[in-house]
Amino acid sequence: DTDGDGILDLYWGTEPFEDINGNSIWNNGEWYSDLNGNGIYDLNLDWDIDGDGDKRNEDLNGNGVLDNYNPNNSLTGIDDPSDMFHDANHNNYVDESERDWDGNGVIDDYDRRYFWMPWADIPDEGFKHASGDFYGVGAAHPYSFSRDHWHYDKKVTTTMKSELVSQVTLHHKLTTGIELKDYNLTNFWPPDRYGYAEYYTVRPREFSVYLSDKMEYPGAIVNAGIRMEYFMPNTMYPNDETDPTWTSDDYDDWDGDGIPEQYQGWKDAAGLYEHSLLETDEHGIVIRPIKNPQEAENKLVFAPRLGISHPITDKAMLYFNYGRYYQRPALQYMFRNITYNMGGGFPIVGYPDLDPELTVSYEVGVRYQLTTLSLIEAKGFYKDIFGLTDTRPIYWTVSDWYTTYYNRDYGNVRGFELILLKRPPGFFFGELNYTYLVAKGKSSSVGQGYITEWSGNIVPTFESYLAWDQRHTFNANVNLSYNNFLTTMAVNYGSGTRYTRPEQGRIVVENTETYPWYMTSNMRVSYKFKLGELRTDLFLYITNLFNLQRFKQVNDLNWYHQYQQLVSQFDDNGDGEVTVSDGQENFFGYMSNVDL
């Protein structure tokens, strides 16, 4: 009891028979150490690491190294590679646990399988130190190193393409080509403070061939073509998504003799199992074996396109376009966490067998030349979008589920567009554009199903307006040119986009409400002149020309929606706000609902 507090000293920092600084002299028991011998006490090491109320020096893992964070001294800090908070060799095991635990004189696979401590098992309370460099592993220890200490991400894409263009005859211009893309994708993310992790290497490949013919005749111009696309995921995935991997709880045929049995670790360690839970890759990462793996199907699609334009008069033209367009899903939706790391509260796993998304597009329009430099155009469009990617839950136990991607959603976009175009030169030139659009579907984003499930709500099966549905948009790009002066003004107006009314219950009808309109306006005035041989351009740039305060979305949707309801209830004169001019009864009724 070196400090005389009536409690036996169990920490090496207080023991008088320790040579802390390695100078072959025992150090006196002290709560503050002078490790460098400069006569000045070093950092205070009395931290309550494990939150037990005892703030004396602690060595929780018993490795003879204090668990405190001291970046200036490897002997007493977690910067020492032998401390419990490090994985210096990046093998996902705590370095201090990598010992010869069975005492056979060799650090072998048996030690790793049964005694080494996985890095993911270190407890983490999610507290981040203000420096941004460390995460807490204990209630009163905010300086220990973050588990997510490194990340390896490598994406290599090799592209080979060849194209041939030939004016075969006076009326036919052929274009043909071939393209090959080879991907090599590796992503290794150790478990973060919430337990999420993933590790995979995949090598998908895609191949495409296309052919088009531009046919020009006095009465019509026809563009016809076809594109063939072939995608090879080159990846395995489980036959039963509700039972994706082998686990120690499985009662199954582990050794391939046709007889199911409970998992027994000693048999696995002895190499008697066909489906081992102890296999590792070349980096020492434990492989989570997929149960009944099957090859993801290669996808072959053909996409025809047709465009026809017909001159009505020498100044007017009627045109029609049709096309089928395929879009391969983003690779992250196919290969994310395909090794089935189920850490974290709501794990997400990719689906390698996703189909490409299909858009069928129709467009018809008329173009009329007003002058040699100006024209007006009107066109209508209609698009059907099939196989949009969304997310859904898969229950692999009664209460545990993960999320995966699948082709579920349908979208529909229709509308028309009016264009007035004036080309330079001249005093005035620019473009005016108005679009009317309606967009409906089952999901506005790939993560909508995931968020709905996470919130405990029911994923709807009916169509609703999409979040990016915007009924009216107007864009103006106007230029005024005189001598060396040029004034350009860009104005963009949009009616409000959609948002979902809060507090609807478990069945949510998406995007029934709209935000107010918004507008952006910018102007640039420039003057060009010469100073000797120097060409100079002076300019003035103004943003938000009309000084409007508008918004596209809000952070607190519940508050905003409630505010809008109160305004609509008490705004008697319809000016968008509630004041005394709306009547005292309305004003005080409104103010009684506002938290001042």
Tell me: pLDDT of 203 over 50. yes
Looking at the DSSP assignment, which residues form a beta bridge with residue 495?
none
Higher pLDDT among residues 501 and 14, named by residue:
501
Tell me: pLDDT of 5 over 70. no
Tell me: pLDDT of 317 over 50. yes
Helix H or strand E encompassing 360: strand 357-369
Give the pLDDT mean for 282-300: 82
Does any domain span residue 130?
yes
Can you give the residue range of the structural domain that contains 582?
556-596
**Distance, CA of 104 to CA of 322 (rounded, Å):** 74
DSSP summary character for residue 296: P
284 to 93, 109, 112, 263: CA distances (angstroms): 9, 10, 10, 22
Which of 126-135, 447-456, 495-504 has the least mean pLDDT? Answer: 126-135
Q: Of 130, 145, 160, at which residue does a domain stop?
A: 145
pLDDT tens digit sequence for 111-162: 777 777 776 555 443 444 444 444 444 444 434 444 445 567 889 999 999 9
Answer whether 449's CB lies under 8 Å from 392's CB: yes
Structure tokens at 471: 């009924």
Say whether 103 sits in a helix, a strand or coil: coil
CB count within 10 Å of CB 115 equals: 14
Answer whether 63's CB lies under 8 Å from 84's CB: yes
Residue 73: the pLDDT is 41
pLDDT tens digit sequence for 507-529: 778 888 888 888 999 999 999 98
In 3D space, the residue among 320, 429, 309, 310 whose CA is nearest the CA of residue 371 turns out to be: 429
Residue 442: the pLDDT is 83
CB count within 10 Å of CB 448 equals: 20
Does any domain span residue 578?
yes
CB count within 10 Å of CB 240 equals: 11
In 3D space, the residue among 295, 199, 286 whose CA is nearest the CA of residue 248 turns out to be: 286
Q: What are phi and psi of 211, to 5 degrees?
A: -145, 130
Place of tokens 């005016």: 432
Higher pLDDT among residues 506 and 167, named by residue:
167
Contact partners, residue 218, CB within 8 Å, separation at least 6:
none
**Distance, CA of 387 to CA of 351 (rounded, Å):** 14
Does any domain span residue 576?
yes
Contact partners, residue 420, CB within 8 Å, separation at least 6:
374, 375, 376, 431, 432, 433
**Distance, CA of 453 to CA of 448 (rounded, Å):** 9
**What angle do the packed helices 584-591 and 557-570 form, to 10 degrees?**
160
Residue 24: the pLDDT is 56
pLDDT tens digit sequence for 12-28: 344 444 555 556 555 54
pLDDT tens digit sequence for 58-112: 444 444 444 443 434 443 333 343 345 566 677 777 776 777 777 777 777 777 7
**Distance, CA of 443 to CA of 586 (rounded, Å):** 39
Q: Is the peptide bond before 425 cis (omega within 30 degrees of 0)?
A: yes
Tell me: pLDDT of 429 over 80. yes
Ramachandran assignment for 415, one of left (phi > 0), alpha (psi -120 to 50 degrees), beta (any other): left
Contact partners, residue 97, CB within 8 Å, separation at least 6:
84, 115, 116, 117
Does any domain span residue 273?
no
Does any domain span residue 182?
no
Higher pLDDT among residues 244 and 99, named by residue:
244
Answer whether 105's CB lies under 8 Å from 130's CB: no
Q: What is the dihedral of CA 44, 46, 50, 54, to 10 degrees?
A: -160
The total number of structural domains in the chain stands at 2
Helix H or strand E encompassing 227: strand 220-232
What residue spans of 279-422 are helical by DSSP H? Answer: 331-335
Does any domain span residue 510?
no
Higher pLDDT among residues 148 and 165, named by residue:
165
Does any domain span residue 428?
no
What residue spans of 140-264 are helical by DSSP H? Answer: none
Say what the pTM is. 0.68
**Distance, CA of 232 to CA of 208 (rounded, Å):** 12
Higher pLDDT among residues 51 and 489, named by residue:
489
Q: What are phi and psi of 322, to 5 degrees?
A: -135, 140
Does any domain span residue 318?
no
